[in-house]
Chains A and B, each alone.
Chain A
């Protein structure tokens, strides 16, 4: 048997399968793209961690980076710090979110719809800005809240210090609370009220119902929220980048940054080693999350059932409930927004007083709107947001359709592959991509394309989630009718499915575009000076101490985010809360 015969035999089956079912071609294409996106950085991250020479220099296999990393007691301190930080902030986020969700969904507290802003507004702030805003509010000597408390209560020293583990947990908890709110409120919305009603008929008090019925029912959602936020916090680089250094606390992400960029000389091999450890940790927790939600997926997706949850009459306590929810809204939305606006309009950050009137200025806006670097960063980020979100949603749509509506082989393999981007921390993915594109002979390293690939890979699961829940609702008859009339896969996809999927497509697109516009933790490692997006530019403003330009750019980006959402909703004619 010669080589040609062997090859023919090997390819015979797949070729025949493609002829019989064109879905197999599409499935194979989707499979190859997703496999490439998720496996190449994973493989190269491991490769880099075992290589003796730095990025771009041929080296040999070595275990020395692992030996160095794990013989260093600092690593174990990192592990402890990262776990305390992630666990603390995820518990705080879930707690705050549950309180607001319960008040808005299940009670008759006045103004409760307004508190849902807690979940929506932070999606337009660059996440770095929240940490900076809280730095301005709670730094020990100059924090505006600290100064106000010292002045009005006559305290001897500042009561709060943001530059501490508690400060980091507090800020990260506030940043991740909106996600927790979405999960918990969806669960509260979709729960069957008949159980509670039965308990009430049986004579249970409100508290008993809450403890015995409501809590057990939403427990999976609470656990899911806590687990997901744990993963988000352990991979978060925004908050640690601003708060951990002055606090002299090191977590995994700051260590990766220090080794890859911040140290001299940088050591991308050791950075890869730490990134591998971080990836393993996040994979374990994402696996746990998926186990937890596999039976309770219905809590976060549209189920088609339309329950009207029972509204609890809080009596005179309803004002108290509103006050609590308002306080949380102030912490998550109002205060950071006010600080951003304040800093963006004064010459330099100071405690507001008489001299503030003399220091009011539009200079920071003027400098941003006329500066070539800012202009180019805005251009880059808009390109990444619009192009990236569109490409990512197209890929997600095809993938979601293939995995839910067809019986093509390899569906489970694709689902397994999307597990990796789910778990990939932004910092680890970036290091993996750096190692990949230094070796891949395509002009991608140091260009916008490496960022585009990074963004699509990392946030593909977000697109998949929206599209899967939309595709499930499309009745099988429509594409089947199209196919029967002789339309191929692409014609059916373009003319039947895409219009039907538009609401889901646009909702996912909005989520992705707003994330891409503000992305920081992957970009900071991957950008080059010519391809600098907004996230790294904001960070550079911060490290140079240019808080005014930073905050004014933050405000500008928030406005652009808002415009993107409005325009996309016009195009899609759907509500943001439609999902």
Chain B
């Protein structure tokens, strides 16, 4: 009897080992333990209205409440870093773009977690250290007010924005305050090589209306305050109003990540949440709200979205020092200098 039990334990153990090896360190969350933790707190850069359906579905499925606080990527990073340094992190999961996630990762804010569902994501988005998990892609294009600009008259490329026709009529986030925009401008070198800074200077001469982050660019366009602007394509779906986007060959794109707090007090619920977000169900819920998810084959219900996917060009990330220089000096002089 004892022998049979031992054999059974050995077999189960071996099977578990095989399963563990096969999933390459991915770790299935413990659902029962997660449910006992009752809730999680997520700080994220996604607008709340686009997160809500996914959170509602998660809450319904597991009975775990998601408290979501939204700030720009910059604000999310600032708050998470301040709370971490003060020894009082209020978050279990932090969502945000790659640039700031790398900075937080380097400060030790996160702990390793690879959700099993992320195994099906494209290889380039799998992080070796498992500290951050990509879950959506954010292509940037030109959006325009469809009541004020006919599709034929809209700018076709970023270069078209430099035409005198658009002087004072462009809106974009303030690159001295918004990390993703600083990163976007810096990554224009992928298209323009050394001349990227000349483009930025020419763009600044167009006297764009500067706003806090990429989301309000859309409402500035919808209101008609500026007929065109630079922001995420997904906002076409996430904001109501007369707004369309420009189909281009290539789009600078930023992947956004979910990361597990190193000091979380609800590790199981937080892991379950990250796994859910990466699962086909979570990815579909995100796509329905206009997101370009990481799981291949799921496309958001935005006109011609399938034509956007092949043109995604993922942005490089400035280091913290480069960010400081770009935002505090370079762009400050270009956009605010006399």
| B277, CB-defined interface residue at 8 Å | no
Beta-carbon nearest neighbor of B179 in chain A: A264
Please state if A373 and B47 are interface contacts (CB–CB under 8 Å): no
| B233, CB-defined interface residue at 8 Å | no
State the interface size on chain B (CB cutoff 8 A).
57
Please state if B90 and A545 are interface contacts (CB–CB under 8 Å): no
Docked CA distance A348–B41 (Å)? 30
Docked CA distance A373–B71 (Å)? 13
| A57, CB-defined interface residue at 8 Å | yes
What total of A-B pairs shows CB separation below 8 Å? 124
Please state if A264 and B77 are interface contacts (CB–CB under 8 Å): yes
> Which one of A13-21, A30-38, A84-92, A527-535 contacts B?
A527-535
**Given A57, A349, A545, which contacts B216 in the complex, CB threshold below 8 Å?**
A545
**Given contact pairs A528-B90, A529-B90, A543 touches B82 in the complex (Cβ within 8 A):** no
Please state if B219 and A56 are interface contacts (CB–CB under 8 Å): no
Docked CA distance A540–B68 (Å)? 13
Which residues does chain B contribute within 8 Å of A446, judged by CB atoms? 83, 86, 88, 90
- Chain A interface main SS type: loop
Beta-carbon nearest neighbor of A53 in chain B: B85
| B259, CB-defined interface residue at 8 Å | no
Docked CA distance A142–B145 (Å)? 13
**Given B43, B47, B49, B87, which contacts A529 in the complex, CB threshold below 8 Å?**
B43
Docked CA distance A349–B224 (Å)? 9
Which residues does chain A contribute within 8 Å of B211, judged by CB atoms? 245-246, 543, 545
Nearest chain A CB to B289's CB is how many angstroms away? 15
Please state if A545 and B177 are interface contacts (CB–CB under 8 Å): no
Please state if B86 and A348 are interface contacts (CB–CB under 8 Å): no
Docked CA distance A139–B220 (Å)? 11
Please state if B174 and A245 are interface contacts (CB–CB under 8 Å): yes
Please state if B86 and A55 are interface contacts (CB–CB under 8 Å): yes
| B74, CB-defined interface residue at 8 Å | yes
| A12, CB-defined interface residue at 8 Å | no
Beta-carbon nearest neighbor of B100 in chain A: A264
Q: Mark B118-142, 1 if CB is under 8 A from A, else 0.
A: 0000000000000000000000000
| B75, CB-defined interface residue at 8 Å | yes
Beta-carbon nearest neighbor of B219 in chain A: A545
| B272, CB-defined interface residue at 8 Å | no
Beta-carbon nearest neighbor of A443 in chain B: B88
Nearest chain A CB to B148's CB is how many angstroms away? 10
Nearest chain B CB to A265's CB is how many angstroms away? 7
| A499, CB-defined interface residue at 8 Å | no
> Which one of B5-13, B195-203, B321-329 contacts A?
B321-329
Docked CA distance A351–B78 (Å)? 37
Please state if A54 and B70 are interface contacts (CB–CB under 8 Å): no
Which residues of chain A from 106 to 157 have any CB-CB distance to chain B below 8 Å in the complex?
139, 141-142
| B108, CB-defined interface residue at 8 Å | no
| A547, CB-defined interface residue at 8 Å | yes
Q: Mark B51-86, 1 if CB is under 8 A from A, else 0.
A: 000000000000000011111101101110111011
Docked CA distance A161–B25 (Å)? 58
Which residues of chain B from 177 to 236 have any CB-CB distance to chain A below 8 Å in the complex?
177, 179, 182, 209-213, 215-220, 222-226
| B314, CB-defined interface residue at 8 Å | no
| A544, CB-defined interface residue at 8 Å | yes
Please state if B240 and A540 are interface contacts (CB–CB under 8 Å): no
Which residues of chain A from 523 to 579 have any CB-CB distance to chain B below 8 Å in the complex?
528-530, 532, 540, 542-547
Please state if B74 and A264 are interface contacts (CB–CB under 8 Å): yes
| A266, CB-defined interface residue at 8 Å | yes
Nearest chain A CB to B132's CB is how many angstroms away? 18
Which residues does chain B contribute within 8 Å of A529, judged by CB atoms? 41, 43, 67, 69, 79, 90-91
New contact pairs (18) apart from A265-B103, A529-B41, CB-CB < 8 Å: A54-B85, A248-B336, A263-B327, A264-B182, A347-B241, A445-B86, A446-B88, A446-B90, A528-B83, A530-B67, A530-B90, A540-B70, A543-B212, A543-B213, A544-B47, A544-B215, A546-B49, A547-B219
What are 30 A-B contacts with C-beta separation under 8 Å? A142-B225, A245-B174, A245-B212, A261-B75, A262-B74, A264-B74, A264-B100, A264-B323, A264-B327, A265-B78, A265-B324, A348-B222, A348-B239, A350-B224, A373-B48, A446-B86, A446-B90, A528-B79, A529-B43, A529-B67, A530-B67, A540-B70, A540-B71, A543-B211, A543-B216, A544-B216, A545-B211, A545-B215, A545-B217, A546-B49
Counting from the closest, the 10 A-B pairs by CB-CB distance are A545-B219, A529-B69, A56-B85, A56-B86, A545-B216, A543-B212, A348-B241, A438-B86, A544-B215, A266-B78
